[in-house]
Amino acid sequence: MSKTERTKLFNRLEVKYLVDRTTRTALNRDIQALMRPDKYAGPDGYYRVRSLYFDTADYMAYGQKISGEAERHKLRIRAYGDDPSQSPLVRLEVKSRYISFIYKVVVDVSRQEYQEIDCAFNRRRMPPMHIWSNQDTSTEFIRLKQLYNFEPRILLQYRRQAYERNDLNRVRVNFDDELIASRNLEMLGPMRGARNLLRYGHSIFEIKVDNVLPTWLHLLISKYDLNNQAFSKFCYAVQSELRRSSVARPTLDSAY
């Protein structure tokens, strides 16, 4: 299989809002009139996303995110579809921030190759040479994992309804529902012991814009009186886990 590594450096605005069901219904109606559905959406307009997030033993990435450090890295592995065990591709992502710029490295590997990588990680070894030596493999992902001793920490899954529009800038918005988290870290297995992270009837509305927020989106935000929240799914899941843990450190537990 031919793999393609995609590297991007861009100045992207990302904002998130928690919305209730009433707001979501009306907002979604307006969005549908202004944007087209994401090309990867299923017949019902949705697709499911599963993400395995990495961090250090002392949750360095979590701490950097909530403190707003200008330079930080996020490692995650993603699969799409209702049954991740049947997903033909698994995505390795590195998302680094340098002040206002986002540097993103994405590579898709086959399910079989991911299983080899995962087996090597579990044994604290380097992936097999035929994977490591392939220049299409995300060497940046492996480099940062080894450099900071990142390990899988939490598994997230949610259902996404996404829209996109290309004018002067690329605009993408999505509604994420049914957000659940698990400490069972089997990426391609069942979500055992999963717990809900959102209150009933609530969704995450997310906007991603390259460079400048267009006027029509400003008007929508004003129309629905949306308030931007520093909301990270990974941080929210970690915080939820710490609240449930009897050994949670006060410095982390009080971070939100």
Q: What is the pLDDT of residues 91-135, one digit of tens each?
A: 999 988 887 677 888 888 899 999 999 999 998 888 887 776 665
With respect to residue 24, please indicate whether it lies within any of the assigned structural domains.
yes
Return the beta strands (E) in the chain as ranges: 5-10, 12-19, 36-37, 46-55, 71-80, 89-98, 101-110, 151-166, 170-182, 195-196, 203-210
CB 58 within 8 A of CB 150: no
pLDDT confidence of residue 134: 60
What b/e readout covers 81-93, taking b as 16+ CB neighbours within 10 angstroms?
Answer: eeebeebebbbbb
Residue 251 belongs to some domain of the structure = no
- The CATH number of the domain holding residue 115 is 3.20.100.30
Lowest mean pLDDT among 93-107, 133-147, 182-196, 204-218: 133-147
Least confident among 11-15, 116-120, 142-146: 11-15
d(CA 75, CA 96): 9
Confidence class for position 136, pLDDT limits 50, 70, 90: low
* Exposed e or buried b per residue across 161-174, where buried means at least 16 C-beta atoms within 10 angstroms of its C-beta: bbbbbeeeeebbbb
Residue 200: inside a domain, yes or no? yes
Both structure tokens of 113:
């190759």
DSSP character for 42? -
3-state secondary structure at position 22: helix
Per-residue pLDDT averaged across 9-38, rounded?
Answer: 90
Q: Over range 158-175, report the average pLDDT.
A: 93
256 within domain boundaries: no
Amino acid at 32: Q
Distance CA 225, CA 215 (A): 15
Residue 127 lies in a domain: yes
> What pLDDT shows up at residue 43?
84
Three-class secondary structure of residue 229 per DSSP:
strand
Q: Domain tally for the chain?
A: 1
Distance (Å, rounded) from C-alpha 225 to C-alpha 187?
A: 37
Q: Assess if residue 208 is contained within a domain.
A: yes
List all residues 6 or more positions away from 226 whose beta carbon is below 8 Å from its beta carbon.
17, 19, 205, 220
CB neighbours (10 Å) of residue 230?
11
Least confident of 5-9, 139-143, 210-214, 229-233: 5-9
* Rounded Cα gap, residues 206 and 151, in angstroms: 27
* Residue-averaged pLDDT of the chain: 86
Any domain includes 252: no
The amino acid at 140:
E
Backbone angles phi, psi at 164, to 5 degrees: -145, 160
Question: What is residue 86's DSSP assignment?
Answer: G
State which residues form the domain around 34.
Answer: 5-243
